[in-house]
Amino acid sequence: MRTKIGEKGFKLWLSAKETYNWAYGVERSWPCSQLAGNRLFVEFDSNGLVDLLVSGKYIYNINMGNLETIESNELNAIVADHINESLPENHCCKVLMNVNSNL
pLDDT of residue 53: 92
Question: Under a CB-based contact definition with an 8 Å cutoff, are residues 74 and 32 in contact?
Answer: no
pLDDT of residue 33: 93
pLDDT of residue 44: 93
Domain locations in the chain? 2-83
Q: Transcribe 38-85 into DSSP letters.
A: S-EEEEEETTEEEEEEETTEE--B-SSSSTTB--HHHHHHHHHHHHTT
The structure's pTM equals: 0.83
Neighbours of 52 (CB within 10 A): 18
Local confidence pLDDT in tens for the 103 residues of the chain: 999 999 999 999 999 999 999 999 887 789 889 999 999 999 999 888 889 999 988 876 555 445 567 888 999 999 999 998 888 888 888 777 664 444 4
